[in-house]
């Protein structure tokens, strides 16, 4: 951790879905600028929900979610969407790639859906460089249906990193990769964090990767606090 500025601040958060018994309670959580933090916990404990709340995809019933001094939990739907696209790189667990676009257009897609990002030749070149670094440059003209799960994962990571976001949220970013590529993905994520003084919050079930992070948040601790 290099920075002292707080990038994520969560206070008294309570969230539940309209149907079902799932309930997420987080008394307090914060991440500082430049931190690389892993999130672990049992399946169904709310790790992906936490990322969705930070990104503004979901809103809590109670409490606040602040990202880069912006009270994201109070934004309108449209403002949360624009904030997410311009400030957060989100690597979704199910990739969220569009079948009707080729890989290159999927990577560039955030620049085509908001005026807040400007697509330039330099951005197109950066997309190619990212794809090359993840060894999918030869797949840029292919459609997502022609890719393996691991190749889809790498395309999703390229898309998330392209705008050089200050916050990267990664939901099982190494989950579909072999051991060699797991290391390469983590290297790329860490390189992006360090070169832009960004922050990384990564959900993972791969405990072998945990020593590489600055610290680990265990969802079991939230359950213990709620029971206290």
For every one of its 228 residues, what pLDDT tens digit does the chain have, with 9 covering 90 and above?
345 699 999 999 999 988 878 889 999 999 999 999 999 999 888 999 999 999 999 999 999 999 999 999 999 998 998 899 899 999 998 899 999 999 999 999 999 988 888 999 999 999 999 999 888 999 999 999 999 988 998 899 999 999 999 999 999 888 767 777 788 888 888 987 888 889 999 999 888 899 999 999 998 887 645 444
Give the per-residue pLDDT at 183.
82
Tokens standing for residue 37: 């933090």
CATH 3.40.190.10 fits 6-99+157-227, yes or no: no
Tokens standing for residue 170: 């990664």
Q: Which pTM value belongs to this model?
A: 0.90
Q: Where are the domains of the chain?
A: 6-99+157-227
112 Cβ contact partners less than 8 Å away, ≥ 6 residues apart? 105, 119
CB 101 within 8 A of CB 143: yes
Q: Report helix, strand or coil for 119.
A: coil
CA 140 – CA 134 distance, rounded (Å) = 12
CB 219 within 8 A of CB 42: yes
Judge residue 128's burial from the number of C-beta atoms within 10 Å of its C-beta, 0-12 exposed, 13-18 middle, 19 or more buried.
Answer: middle
Give the per-residue pLDDT at 222.
78
Q: Report helix, strand or coil for 132.
A: helix
Give the per-residue pLDDT at 225.
53
Give the per-residue pLDDT at 168.
95
Give the per-residue pLDDT at 49.
94
Judge residue 112's burial from the number of C-beta atoms within 10 Å of its C-beta, 0-12 exposed, 13-18 middle, 19 or more buried.
Answer: exposed
Place of tokens 């930070």: 54
Strand partners, 200: 36, 168
Give the per-residue pLDDT at 12.
96
Give the per-residue pLDDT at 21.
83
User: DSSP labels for 190-210?
Assistant: HHHHHHTT-EEEEE-S-GGGG
């Amino acid at each position: 951790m290099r920075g002292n500025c707080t990038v994520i601040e969560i206070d008294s958060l309570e969230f539940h879905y309209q149907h079902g018994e799932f309930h997420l309670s987080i008394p307090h959580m914060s991440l500082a600028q430049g931190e690389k933090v892993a999130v672990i916990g049992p399946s169904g404990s709310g790790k992906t929900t936490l990322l969705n709340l930070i990104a503004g995809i979901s809103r809590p019933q109670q409490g606040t979610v602040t990202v880069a001094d912006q009270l994201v939990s109070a934004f309108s739907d449209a403002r949360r969407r624009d904030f997410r696209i311009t400030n957060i790189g989100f690597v979704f667990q199910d990739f969220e790639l569009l079948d009707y676009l080729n890989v290159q257009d999927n990577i560039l897609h955030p620049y085509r859906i908001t005026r807040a990002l400007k697509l330039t030749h330099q951005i197109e070149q950066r997309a190619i460089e990212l794809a090359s670094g993840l060894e999918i440059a030869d797949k840029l003209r292919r459609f997502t249906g022609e890719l393996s799960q691991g190749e889809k994962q790498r395309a999703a990571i390229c898309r998330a990193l392209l705008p050089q976001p200050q916050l990267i949220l990664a939901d099982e970013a190494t989950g579909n990769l072999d051991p060699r590529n797991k290391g390469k993905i983590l290297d790329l994520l860490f390189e992006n964090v360090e070169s832009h003084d960004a922050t990384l919050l990564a959900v993972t079930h791969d405990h072998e990767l945990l020593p590489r992070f600055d610290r680990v948040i265990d969802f079991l601790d939230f359950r213990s606090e709620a029971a206290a």
